[in-house]
A and B are shown apart, each in its own frame.
Chain A
């Protein structure tokens, strides 16, 4: 009898131990998707205030391209873009904060570079916005390309990669120029606005934002050329593949939706489409959503709440928005740009 009771106790102890271990394992599970689902919201690391990309209004409502992308991820998972919670992060801290799990995803105008992936053990799943250093100048100068800028006085912020890029570019093309440097961006803009230099160089997305604050914005234009590569991308942690796959394919689904002509306006028609590519996208054929750990209609959820890539672009930074950045490089690959999503098949 004694041995039976003993056995029962040991069995019970083992069962409790296994239970406790399972709870601990579940709790400390490092997989972001699981933690996000348990929490019921996606924590998005965003810029504190960058017009067009991520900025809160006085009521704390966030708008912008980076903000909308995070909402798309939340919509794919929870069928509710409101389940994205925004955590403003400083430029200097952003990668460390992602690494230390303060946020699930960084959607904060961050340039994808090899060093950043290696130094912080991070992964940039796909390019959301192709940016690069460029030039703003008065329309009256009547220039069409940055190769015409030889002999220019170039206003630039000291100590930035832009200053280095400008120097490399002019040297590589055998062009003379005069650098007019200031430590503060405000001073750079003021100098340009008062005619102390012929052109202002910064990242193109930034130039469009800076133009809004000039005394006569309409008198200035931004050249279409870019002299450096600044691919802005969302960021996730390495070795977190389920999560990385969701972030990557959320962006690619939005780009593919635009290419296939699927938008928030015609998503109901798209659900009736008999075109195989459209059917796979909206989940009326195949089970890609389920394979990602989501539902069949994950793309429909994204498109209904945020729209396709083009809609997200136009609403926040495109020519119908305040910023008025032409699609340029961010146009689809078959319409003059380089935005290219792998097929969903």
Chain B
């Protein structure tokens, strides 16, 4: 019974989302993080953002994660001049950063507590949201150093390949789960930005 109710609820929300999204995207394409309900498996990523093995030459050791903000790709370096490449969503202009960090923590279906600076910018955000399918952090989260930033999943697969976040890197849930199983705590993460003029 509850299943049916949830399904109907999800359907109605999805429908209203579809109906309003054309208006919303025309009005304000830069939505940032907010709870939503689009399921990962119902969404087909463009080939550009699909997980794939690519040629990748680097001096970084296999197992290192390299994030290219400009390309919206995350590379997991493999031996033999290759990398597994994932499509990501990155920070909005002004919310991008670069540097070297390590993964300090890993969580499955993480709860979401938007940091105070995010609440200040987007007061409509919830103060706390329990982990689960509707949560913007999605299926997995990997904490980056001591920053408030994470590599995480998403409830909005359509935002992969765009600049929408507050500085986090998001993957579709299938991809983030795949990456999660491949990288331990302590993994080196290099974040590269587009050069400035």
Task: Give A contacts to B, CB under 8 Å.
Answer: 144-145, 221, 223-226, 259-262, 266, 269-270, 273, 275, 278, 319-320, 324, 326, 328-329, 333, 335-338
Contacts and interface: CB of A to CB of B under 8 A. Distances in A.
B55 A336 contact: yes
Interface string B74-88: 010000101101000
A134 to B, nearest CB: 10
9 contacts: A145-B82, A225-B55, A269-B197, A324-B48, A329-B57, A336-B54, A336-B56, A336-B66, A336-B75
A329 B55 contact: yes
B197 A335 contact: no
Given A336-B75, A337-B57, A261 B196 contact: yes
Interface centre among A226, A259, A273, A326 (most CB of B within 10 A): A326
B197 A270 contact: yes
A144 B82 contact: yes
Given A225-B55, A335-B68, A275 B197 contact: yes
A328 B52 CA distance: 12
B82 A260 contact: no
Contacts of B80: 145
B63 to A, nearest CB: 16
Interface string B23-61: 000000000000000000000001110001111111000
A269 B71 CA distance: 21
Contacts of B197: 260-262, 266, 269-270, 273, 275, 278
B192 interface: yes
Nearest to B57: A336
Contacts of B66: 336
Given A144-B82, A336-B83, 14 more contacts: A221-B52, A225-B82, A226-B55, A260-B197, A261-B194, A266-B197, A324-B47, A326-B54, A326-B55, A335-B71, A336-B56, A336-B57, A336-B66, A337-B57
B50 to A, nearest CB: 10
Nearest to B194: A261
A329 B57 CA distance: 8
A338 B57 contact: yes
Nearest to B87: A319
A319 B49 CA distance: 9
A335 B71 CA distance: 10
Interface centre among B57, B82, B196, B197 (most CB of A within 10 A): B197
A328 B75 CA distance: 12
Contacts of B48: 319-320, 324
A220 to B, nearest CB: 12
Nearest to B85: A326
A16 B55 CA distance: 65
Interface string B94-113: 00000000000000000000
A224 B54 contact: yes
Contacts of A226: 55
Given A145-B80, A145-B82, A335 B192 contact: yes
Contacts of A273: 197
B116 interface: no
A223 B66 CA distance: 21
Given A328-B55, A337-B57, A224 B194 contact: no
A259 B85 CA distance: 21
Given A145-B82, A324-B48, A335-B68, A259 B195 contact: yes
A326 B195 contact: no
Contacts of A328: 54-55
A319 B55 contact: no
Nearest to B192: A335
B53 to A, nearest CB: 5
Interface centre among B57, B68, B82, B194 (most CB of A within 10 A): B57
Contacts of B55: 224-226, 326, 328-329, 336-337
B99 to A, nearest CB: 16
Interface string B158-197: 0000000000000000000000000000000000101111
